Structure 1
Amino acid sequence: MKKLILIILGLILQLSVMAQSGLKAGDKAPEFTAKDNNGKIVDLKALLKTHQSVVLFFYRGQWCPYCSKHIQQLQDSLQMLTGKGAYVVGVTPETGENINKTIEKTHASFSMVQDKDYSIMKAYDVNYVMDPAMVAKYKTYGVDLDKNNGNTDHVLPVPATYIIDKSGKIKYVQFDKDYRKRPSVATILSEL
Structure 2
Amino acid sequence: MYSVLRAACGLLLAPLAVSAQTAPLSASPLKVGESAPAFAAKDANGQSVELSKLLRKGPVVLYFYRGQWCPYCNKQLSQLQDSLQMLTAKGAQVVVVSPETQDNIGKTVDKTSATFPILHDQDFAIMKAYRTAFSVDAATARKYQGFGLDLRAANGASQDVLPVPATYVIGRNGKIKFVYFNPDYRQRVSVKQVAQAL
Whole-Å separation in 1 of the counterparts to 2:78 and 2:17: 35
Aligned length: 180
**Residue matched to 1:187:** 193
**Residue matched to 1:155:** 161
SS at match of 1:37: coil
In the alignment, does 2:30 pair up with 1:23? yes
1:152 is displaced (CA, Å) by 3.2
Whole-Å separation in 1 of the counterparts to 2:163 and 2:83: 23
Whole-Å separation in 2 of the counterparts to 1:71 and 1:86: 16
SS at match of 1:117: helix
Q: Which runs of 5+ in 2 are unaligned?
A: 1-15
**Residue matched to 2:175:** 169
Q: 2:152 aligns with which of 142, 146, 152?
A: 146
Are the equivalent residues in 1 in contact too, given 2:18–2:137 (CA < 8 A)? no
1:16 is displaced (CA, Å) by 4.5
**Percent of aligned pairs sharing the same letter:** 53
Are the equivalent residues in 2 in contact too, given 1:145–1:152 (CA < 8 A)? no
Q: 1:50 aligns with which of 36, 51, 57?
A: 57
Q: 2:184 aligns with which of 178, 181, 184?
A: 178
**Residue matched to 1:61:** 67
Are the equivalent residues in 1 in contact too, given 2:86–2:192 (CA < 8 A)? no
Aligned-residue CA RMSD (Å): 1.5
In the alignment, does 2:123 pair up with 1:117? yes
Whole-Å separation in 2 of the counterparts to 1:11 and 1:80: 40
Q: Which runs of 5+ in 1 are unaligned?
A: 1-9
User: Which structure has the bigger radius of gyration?
Assistant: 1
Distance 1:170 1:60, change over 3 A: same
| Residues 49-101 of structure 1: CA deviation (Å, up to 9, x unaligned) | 112x1010111100011111111111111122111101111111101110000
TM-score, reference length from structure 2: 0.86
Whole-Å separation in 2 of the counterparts to 1:60 and 1:144: 13
Letter of the structure 2 residue corresponding to residue 20 of structure 1 = A
Whole-Å separation in 2 of the counterparts to 1:20 and 1:93: 15
**Residue matched to 1:41:** 48
